[in-house]
């Protein structure tokens, strides 16, 4: 079958669930993943075909999308900050907002890492996208990462190998930890922060497929991870060390207040590209 003809079928089959622009983005992601060709290649070579075996793979993708399974889980990978990451049901799919957090850390510390031996810790690492990307872009830094999920850490270790960086992964429940046992120049975390009351805002593909352990917190203590991590940072950050968080957009003021109560300095609340309160940086 001609690929250009199958594209028409693909668009028609998914049109009741997704808008045309989104379906096209799915099509070209799969095209590159399955056939190693880009959109421009198909435009320049309209007679490109696929065989029966390849068609079955495409139809499998189509069925997954009809069940609203995220395309990243269907393909088993995604891109983050220009790097390739394996993803599965044990880890969250990395978001553009987290890329902004990583970009902030790199921009703030690029010069410092050239002359200083920075030690960085990521708490709640999931796929490992934060520490791996930091190590790739701050190569002189020594990078550590913690997660409570053994399966998530296994995926993160695969991603470190895939991107040819060394990150020290540690299995640990941060809520049951009283001391990190060493000092760090930077602690960063994108912990669970979505309240149960906000579930109505979450797309079905996220609710049904992404790990709730990494997403949700109880309504009556939504800042539980931020409080615990900030308390540990008080003990385990170097003098003038920096703490970075990705946060719940609705709890910016509350998170700033928590850090003020713990006497952190230089607290900055930053918006993401969508204009939502999304990142906080501060120091001891």
Structure tokens at 221: 């203590």
Of the pLDDT bands very low, low, confident and very high (cuts 50, 70, 90), residue 175 is: very high
Give residue 111's pLDDT. Answer: 81
Question: How far, in Å, are 64, 121, 210, 233, 284 from residue 262 at the CA level?
Answer: 46, 20, 33, 10, 10
> Which residues have C-beta within 8 Å of that of residue 7, sequence separation ≥ 6?
27, 42
Of the pLDDT bands very low, low, confident and very high (cuts 50, 70, 90), residue 128 is: very high
In this predicted model, which residue has the larger pLDDT, 248 or 200? 248
188 beta partners: 122, 244
DSSP reduced 3-state for 69: coil
DSSP letter string, 114-155:
HHS--EEEEES-TTSHHHHHHHHHSTTSEEEEEES-HHHHHH
* pLDDT tens track for 200-218: 888 888 889 999 989 999 9
Give residue 79's pLDDT. Answer: 96
DSSP reduced 3-state for 44: helix
Please state, rounded to an integer, the average pLDDT across all residues of the chain.
Answer: 95
Of the pLDDT bands very low, low, confident and very high (cuts 50, 70, 90), residue 112 is: confident
Give residue 151's pLDDT. Answer: 97
Find the mean pLDDT for residues 2-15: 95
* Contact of 73 with 87, CB cutoff 8 Å: yes
Exposed e or buried b per residue across 211-222, where buried means at least 16 C-beta atoms within 10 angstroms of its C-beta: beebbbbeeeeb
Separation between Cα atoms, residue 96 and residue 43, nearest integer Å: 28
Separation between Cα atoms, residue 56 and residue 62, nearest integer Å: 10
* pLDDT tens track for 258-277: 999 999 999 999 999 999 99
Find the mean pLDDT for residues 8-18: 96
Res 11 pLDDT > 80: yes
DSSP letter string, 252-267:
HHHHHHHHHHTT-EEE
* pLDDT tens track for 20-34: 999 999 999 999 999
> Which residues have C-beta within 8 Å of that of residue 25, sequence separation ≥ 6?
none
Of the pLDDT bands very low, low, confident and very high (cuts 50, 70, 90), residue 123 is: very high
Please state which of the ranges 68-72, 115-119, 138-142, 248-252 shows the lowest mean pLDDT.
Answer: 115-119
Of the pLDDT bands very low, low, confident and very high (cuts 50, 70, 90), residue 63 is: very high
């Amino acid at each position: 079958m001609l690929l250009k003809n199958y594209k028409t079928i693909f668009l028609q089959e998914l049109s009741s669930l997704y808008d045309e622009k989104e379906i096209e983005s799915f099509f070209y992601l799969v095209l590159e993943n399955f056939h190693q060709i880009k959109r421009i290649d198909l435009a320049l070579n309209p007679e490109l075909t696929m065989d029966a075996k390849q068609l079955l793979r495409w139809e499998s993708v189509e069925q997954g999308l009809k069940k609203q399974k995220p395309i990243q889980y269907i393909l088993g990978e995604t891109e983050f900050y220009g790097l390739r990451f394996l993803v599965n049901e044990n880890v969250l799919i990395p978001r553009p907002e987290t890329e902004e957090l990583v970009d902030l850390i790199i921009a703030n510390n690029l010069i410092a890492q050239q002359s200083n031996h920075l030690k960085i810790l990521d708490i709640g690492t999931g796929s490992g996208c934060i520490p791996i990307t930091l190590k790739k872009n701050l190569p002189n830094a020594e990078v550590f990462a913690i997660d409570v999920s053994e399966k998530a850490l296994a995926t993160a270790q695969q991603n470190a190998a895939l991107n040819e960086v060394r990150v020290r992964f540690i299995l640990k429940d941060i809520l049951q930890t009283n001391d990190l046992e060493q000092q760090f120049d930077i602690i960063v975390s994108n912990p669970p922060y979505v309240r149960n009351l906000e579930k109505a805002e979450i797309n079905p593909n996220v609710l049904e497929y992404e790990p709730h352990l990494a997403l949700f917190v109880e309504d009556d203590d939504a800042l539980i991870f931020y409080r615990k991590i900030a308390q540990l940072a008080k003990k385990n950050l170097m003098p003038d060390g920096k703490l970075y968080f990705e946060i719940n957009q609705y709890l910016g003021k509350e998170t700033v207040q928590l850090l003020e109560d713990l006497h952190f300095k230089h607290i900055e609340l930053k918006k993401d590209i969508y204009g939502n309160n999304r990142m906080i940086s501060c120091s001891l």
